[in-house]
Structure 1
Amino acid sequence: MYLQLTGTHVRLLGSMHLFPATSRRTPPWVAEAYDWADALIFESDPATIVPLLRASAPPRAAQLQPLMSADAWTQLHTLWPADGALAPLDDLRPWAALIAAPTLLQQVVEGVEPRMLRSAIAQAKPYRYLETAAEVAAALESIPLDALAAALTMLMADRDEPQRTLELMHAGWLAGDLQAVQRIAAESPFFDLPGIRQAILNVRNRAWAARLESLLDPAERTLVVVGALHLCGPGNLMECLARPVESV
């Protein structure tokens, strides 16, 4: 979960973007990684993605309705907030509905990145991002509509799954057990359907690996902070970098 590219000043940290509200603990290796680094590289800036959740033209989330059962669509609509950045559901991009829906069923607190970012700003520690909001949206736009609809249907059939999965993944993450994190994620609708894992993880991993080659300063101790799932399973970031790594 905390790895060094052999022979370099670059380390990779597998993070949790959100923690369960009942388990806010951060393992000591996260703080140690932050203190070690002269500079940080995060995935992307979440605030810049919010304006892209809405669709100015089709496809919109409303186009998922014919692909879902009437009961699942009604449940999803009932779950959705009436106002705010995510409202109305029908006007969102279809992938935005899938990304946002689990968070509406979870009790969470902020995870690794917001905490690190606040410290970096307070201490004037340099930080950068691996991708732009437009690049995130382009990757997620590639998920087929029928896969999105199927995942949302499964989610409405087991509304306890997002919280259950988060708590299990957090426990595996605290233990530094990448295999456990991967095994738990594989049971979630997000990664069990064609196109979803490819868009959320694999496509972005390949793009990040290419970008890291140009971003890295060989003399600067750099910590690359990405979601833990990007470090496990086929097509993970370490495979894409094609460099030897070692546990810190």
Structure 2
Amino acid sequence: MYLHLTGTHLRLLGSMHLFPTTSRRTPPWIAEAYDWADTLVFESDPPTILPLLSANEQGSADRLRPFLPPDAWQHLNAVWPAGGSLAPLAGLRPWAAMIVAPTLFQQVVEGVEPRLLRSALTQGKPYQYLETAEEVAASLDTIPLDAIGAALALLMTDLAEPQRTLERMHAAWLEGDLPAIHRIALESPMFNLPGIREAILDARNRAWAARLTSLLARPERTLVVVGALHLCGPNNLLDCLAHPFEPVPDDAA
């Protein structure tokens, strides 16, 4: 989960974006990775993505109606926030509805990235991002409506799944078990329906690998922080980079 690219000053850290409320503490190897780094690289800047959740010319979440059973659509509307930036449901992009919906049924606290970013801002440690909000949205816009509808319909049949999956994935993450994280993800509708994994993980991995290749010769110690799911399964970021790597020993941070 914490890997060094051989012969470079670049390391990859597989993160959890959210922690279950029952496990709020940051593992010590996260702080060790942060202390090692001269500069940080994150996936993207979440606040810049929020305005892009709203529908654009490609349509709104209301287009999902034909792809969900009527009772599932009604249930989703009933639990959707009545106000704020996420309302109304029908006014969001379809992928935004799919991304946000599971979080309505989770009990979470902030994960790795907000904690590291806060430390970087406090200490003046430089950081950058692998992609822009527009690039994230463009990738997610490619998810087929029928896949989004199927994921939301399955969610409505098992509202406990998002929390259960998060807790299982977090436990595997604490153990540094990437194969287990991948197996757990395969059981979640978010990652086993056609088009969803490609847009959320695979396409972005390919784009990131091209950008990270240009950082391999950096003299600064550079820590790249990405979601752990980007480091496992087919077409993962490590495979796309095609560069030798090794786990960072506990006493080498």
With normalisation by structure 2, the TM-score equals: 0.96
**Deviation of residue 213 (structure 1)?**
2.0
- The CA RMSD measured in Å over matched residues stands at 0.8
Residues 10 and 223, structure 1, Cα contact 8 Å, conserved in 2: yes
Aligned to 2:199: 199
Identity among equivalent pairs (%)? 71
Provide, for residues 159-182 of structure 1, a one-character-per-residue CA deviation record: whole Å limited to 9, x for no partner: 000000000000000111111111
**How far does the alpha carbon of each residue in 1:1-53 deviate from its partner, in whole angstroms, 9 at most, with x for none?**
00000111100000000000111122111110000000000000000000000
**Aligned residue in 2 for 1:94:** 94
Equivalent residue pairs, number: 248
CA distance in 2, matches of 1:216, 1:39: 13
How many angstroms does 1:217 deviate by? 4.9
Query: Contact (CA 8 Å) 2:13, 2:223: kept in 1 or not?
Result: yes
Deviation larger for 165-174 or 51-60: 51-60
Listed one character per residue, the Cα deviations across residues 122-156 of structure 1 (whole Å, up to 9, x for unaligned) are 00000000000000000000000000000000001
Residue 44 (structure 1) aligned with residue 44 (structure 2): yes
> Counterpart in 2 of 1:152?
152
Counterpart of 1:126, as a letter, is P
Instruction: Name the CA distance, whole Å, in 2 between partners of 1:23 and 1:35.
Output: 22
In the TM superposition, residue 210 of structure 1 has moved relative to its aligned partner by 0.4
Structure 1 SS opposite 2:219: coil
Q: Which runs of 5+ in 1 are unaligned?
A: none
Question: SS where residue 25 of structure 1 aligns?
Answer: coil
**Distance in 1 between the 2:214 and 2:147 partners?**
34
Q: Which amino acid aligns with 1:107?
A: Q
Q: Does 1:82 align with 2:82?
A: yes
Structure 2 stretches lacking a partner, 5+ long: 249-253
Distance in 1 (alpha carbons) for counterparts of 2:23 and 2:234: 29
Larger displacement relative to structure 2 (121-130 or 18-27)? 18-27
For 1:216 and 1:50, the matched residues in 2 are separated by 31
* 1:11-90 superposed matches below 5 A: 11-90=11-90
* CA distances 1:171-220 after superposition (whole Å, capped 9, x unpaired): 00011111111111110000110000000000000000001122455211
Cα drift, residue 57 of structure 1: 2.7
Provide the rounded CA distance (Å) in 1 between the counterparts of 2:7 and 2:40.
Answer: 19
Residue 175 of structure 1 corresponds to which residue in structure 2? 175
Aligned AA for 1:234? P
Partner of 2:218: 218
Under a length normalisation based on structure 1, what TM-score does the superposition of the two structures give? 0.98
